[in-house]
Amino acid sequence: MTAAAQQLEALIKAQAYGLGFDLVGIATLGPVETAAAFDDWLAAGHDGDMAYLARGVAKRRDTRLAVEGATSAIVVGMEYGGREPSGPVARYARGDDYHDVMVDRLRELHGWVERELGRPVAGKAYVDTGPILERDLARRAGLGWFGKNTMLINPRIGSFFFLGELLLDLKLVPDEPFAADHCGTCTRCLDACPTRALTEPRVMDATKCISYLTIELKGEIDEALRAGVGERLYGCDVCQEVCPWNEKFALPLREEAFRPRPAIAGKDARALAQDLLALSDDEYRVMFKGSPLKRAKLSGLKRNAAVLLGNVARRSADN
């Protein structure tokens, strides 16, 4: 039976789940509801050194402009192991680069759509790689609500998942947007943030966020924020770890590509920091090829390692 004889949207979702995605929804492209709020966030200077976030303003405000002729988005989520133990590297960055993993599978999905329809379909896959406000698209596709920690939260699997989308020149029936807010009066994420980066519900000052400080920041970490970094080398999961929706619904790690690499697996913060400080450029390139940790560069990782070991030394002195 062909796609014309069945509901194409149901077939697309089944194929996406078969490719390993954990969430799938469909949204119609158009003006973006949260674009003005994002503009205000940029104007407040919360983006820090991330000047690239201000690029592509027109596309950010209207998702139809990202791909000529595109009218629909297939929005997907892929979990990365919210049940994994805490560690010096955030859960999302312990294995292979999620951009590569997800873009490859979205391209497979694109090819499947073309084969099913028997014709070319203009489109493009995005995974945190363009001026797309992905949370907005995901909410419109019915995948979750914006949590007070700024993450998209899904009521079935929490928030430990990546977002990606396939924009297509293809009219699809959209899912109902996710309208409810299930955070209620809870403020666990705001209360737990070690550097008080969550200045109010759903507003993050990235310049104080440990993920920004250990990944995106190019210079030295402000001394006033170093203690809050604690024993974290790359990224931070605190605001997700304390979320009741993750405590109850986060999934075990299932995607093999996201399993911790040998250079990271089983190592405590001090041992990993010492390993990084001893790495040469060549060793680093081989060890972390295709890893999210490449984004901070070896110089950034060594800076983080020095801050971490300084925090360990201060804590030992205080005891």
Q: For residue 80, give the 3-state DSSP assignment.
A: coil
Strand partners, 162: 78
Q: Is 128 annotated in the active site?
A: yes
Strand partners, 154: 158
Helix spans in the chain (H): 8-18, 35-43, 57-61, 98-117, 134-140, 188-192, 210-211, 223-229, 238-241, 244-249, 269-278, 281-287, 297-318
Catalytic-role residue among 40, 49, 100, 128: 128
Strand partners, 203: 200
How far is C-alpha 284 from the geometric centre of its chain's CA atoms? 24
Strand partners, 297: none
Q: Which two tokens stand for residue 201?
A: 């519900």
Decide: 111 and 53 in contact? Cβ < 8 Å: no
State the chain's maximal CA–CA distance in angstroms.
71
Which residues are CB-neighbours of 32 under 8 A, at least 6 positions away?
Answer: 60, 61, 62, 63, 133, 136
The vertex-217 CA angle with 212 and 220, nearest 5°, equals: 120
Active site residues: 128
